[in-house]
Amino acid sequence: MYTESVLPVLKNLQNQICAALEAQDGASVFEADQWQSALGSGESRVLKNGAVFEQAGVNFSHVKGSAMPAAATAHRPELAGAPFEAMGVSLVVHPKNPYVPTSHANVRFFIARPEGREPVWWFGGGFDLTPFYPYEADILHWHRTAAELCKPFGEDVYPEFKKWCDDYFYLKHRGETRGVGGLFFDDLNRWDFDTCLAFIKKVGEGYTDAYIPIAALRKNTVYGERERQFQLYRRGRYVEFNLVWDRGTLFGLQSGGRTESILMSMPPLVRFEYGYEPQEGSAEARLNGFLKPRDWLAEWPER
Amino acid sequence: MYTESVLPVLKNLQNQICAALEAQDGASVFEADQWQSALGSGESRVLKNGAVFEQAGVNFSHVKGSAMPAAATAHRPELAGAPFEAMGVSLVVHPKNPYVPTSHANVRFFIARPEGREPVWWFGGGFDLTPFYPYEADILHWHRTAAELCKPFGEDVYPEFKKWCDDYFYLKHRGETRGVGGLFFDDLNRWDFDTCLAFIKKVGEGYTDAYIPIAALRKNTVYGERERQFQLYRRGRYVEFNLVWDRGTLFGLQSGGRTESILMSMPPLVRFEYGYEPQEGSAEARLNGFLKPRDWLAEWPER
């Protein structure tokens, strides 16, 4: 059991999310790559050069191992050497229009089966938003969607996972959050299995509910070379976060994961510029005020 | 003593290298940024949008600490907690023309002064070349220059530091070297101080001797959009190496170094593409044969 219940939920989420992004794009479609390796198998789907999405990558993967790696059992020594399975869906969307934010979501399941003991399982995941030119209405919609989906699972869930997201997606070397946050959680087994699985499903569906309306609202906003250049520059921060700080990316690359699938999160085009500072008072400078943990729903309760 | 002897050598190297690159570029000049922080001071120099060099960054830095960090004393426990100084010049050149290779060089000095003991010092550094469209003549010139400068210091120096370079600049997640190598060394104190310092000086000067003729020879080679796109794509590997594997970059970013100076190594424009494979038999596919350790001077002894 367990994995048989999780697998269809994850595969459905991959299908639903791809369908929603394709419908919103209206021009390009996803191409799928099924892969197998010594560690397991998966399906990477990528949409390139769309009308709305410059690139979107939606990965499913399912890997198995005969013995938990030491790094993964530091705080669970009883699992050292146990056989395990990990599966998940992970996605990053890089829109074309700089007024549409970049978005990321992930849901994952992990189970270890130590000999002569009950299996130990947990879930992880979340979604987070990275605007270039932030709109308060978009951020509110994003966080309201997150808060609403969490509510049936307890009043404390959203605040806790919202804070976790701010803490996780943080570029320490810049003193900036990656964006305006959302939800992040790991080691989730506080409820029974079915409840945890139901939560994961809500998170996956909530991503589409949260993101698609924002993409729809902003995709036709007129922009020029200035906004494009700022978008390319800010994408550099995404690269910095993913390659320097993201534990999933680093663990994957250093442990023999499938490089192309892991690095599907990289933006298609990126610009780096030494010493760049946006002009004071400009639309670009305004972004800085959004790159720190803020309690959006409390700050703007009436809007 | 020690640092007073090293400082002028490093500053001269920074000046000489900037002058040589400016002369070769002929259009843009370096702009200097002097900086100070809690850790020390430095001068970052960057040339942007040149005729030959799309970006060149040449950093000098000099930092001091009251106690060696634990990470730096793992294999030197006797230095734990000792006051230290570190200084160096580090540079990366991203040329405009895809037929001109990217190049990197670094020379550095480290000294710890444990209480009641003799100071402990060492040097490190090297240079390495990253072509997009490799020319055998360029690689031979690069490695011959490296081998020649090492020769007065012993016949084994070049082979040892050449191998170290191949081992260090390796993208494990790609199974590729970063480029065609050169020299890399660390913990250098096998000779007396003056000899080590003389070696460092030769390495710094050797970089210019090795690189400038290659840039001069290839900078006017006609290229088109295809070569440009391949250059932007391959620059992605540079980003991956520097952010995922380069110990200096990671240590700097994670320990509060000056972010803008550290990330001056990033290419000004980069492209990532999921699942890209060069067409078999193409000029782009040819590069793969160069991305593994090869004994260039032995392979092509007569040319």
The pLDDT, as a whole number, for residue A72 is 67
> In chain A, what residues touch B272 (CB-CB under 8 Å)?
263, 266-270
Written as one letter, the residue type at B105 is A
Judge whether A32 is closer than 8 Å to chain B, CB to CB. no
Reported ipTM: 0.93
Amino acid A71: pLDDT:
64
Structure tokens at A240: 């910095």
CB < 8 Å to A259, chain B: 173-174
Q: Is A57 on the interface with B (CB under 8 A)?
A: yes
- Whole-number Å distance between alpha carbons of A163 and A147: 12
Structure confidence by residue, pLDDT tens digits, B223-256:
999 999 999 999 999 999 999 999 889 888 887 8
Name the closest residue on chain A to residue B58, using Cα atoms: A274
> What distance in Å separates the CA atoms of residue B122 and residue A22, rounded to the nearest whole number?
57
Pairing of strands B102-112, B120-130: antiparallel
- In this complex, is the C-beta atom of B247 within 8 Å of any C-beta atom belonging to chain A? no
Confidence (pLDDT) at B255: 77
The CA-CA-CA angle for residues B299, B302, B303, to 5°, reads 90
Q: Is A269 on the interface with B (CB under 8 A)?
A: yes
Contacts of B262 in chain A (CB under 8 A): 173
State if pTM tops 0.90: yes
Pairing label, strands B269-271, A269-271: antiparallel
Q: Is B278 helix (H, G, I), strand (E, B) or coil?
A: coil
Distance CA B185, CA B150 (A): 12
Predicted pLDDT at B302: 58
- The catalytic position among A62, A75, A94, A104 is A104
Cα–Cα distance for residue pair B47/B53, rounded to 1 Å: 8
Let me know if A104 is a catalytic residue: yes
DSSP, res A190: S
E strand segments, chain B:
31-36, 40-48, 53-65, 84-95, 102-112, 120-130, 170-171, 176-177, 181-188, 269-271
In the set B62, B104, B141, B143, the catalytic residue is B104
Q: In 3-state terms, what secondary structure has residue A172?
A: coil
**Model confidence pLDDT, tens digit, residues B44-97:** 999 999 999 999 999 999 999 888 776 667 778 888 889 999 999 999 999 999
- pLDDT value at position B257? 86
Alpha-carbon span A185 to A127, nearest angstrom: 10
Weakly modelled stretches of chain B, pLDDT under 70:
70-72, 302-303
Of B111, B169, B271, B229, nearest in space to A268 by CA: B271
Judging contacts by C-beta atoms under 8 Å, the chain B residues touching residue A264 are 274
d(CA A296, CA B35): 36
Min Cα–Cα distance to chain A from B57, Å? 9
Q: Is B71 exposed, middle or buried (0-12, 13-18, 19+ CB in 10 A)?
A: exposed
B7 within 8 A of B62, measured Cβ to Cβ: yes
Closest CB to A272: pick one of B33, B253, B268.
B268
Chain B within 8 Å of A56 (Cβ-Cβ)? no
Cα of B156 to nearest chain A Cα, Å: 32
pLDDT given for residue A213 in this prediction: 98
Which one of A33, A250, A274 has the shortest CB-CB distance to B244? A250
Question: Phi/psi zone of residue A111: left (φ > 0), alpha (ψ -120 to 50 degrees), beta?
Answer: beta
At CA B49, angle to CA B44 and CA B53, rounded to 5?
Answer: 80
Angle (CA) A285-A288-A292 rounded to 5° is: 170
Is B72 an 8 Å CB contact of chain A? no
- Per the CB < 8 A criterion, the answer to whether A95 and A194 are in contact is no
pLDDT in 10s for each residue of chain A, 303 residues: 799 999 999 999 999 999 999 999 999 999 999 999 888 999 999 999 999 999 999 999 999 988 877 666 777 888 888 999 999 999 999 999 999 999 999 999 999 999 889 999 999 999 999 999 999 999 999 999 999 999 999 999 999 999 999 999 999 999 999 999 999 999 999 999 999 999 999 999 999 999 999 999 999 999 999 999 999 999 999 999 999 999 889 888 887 889 999 999 999 999 999 999 999 999 999 999 999 999 999 988 755
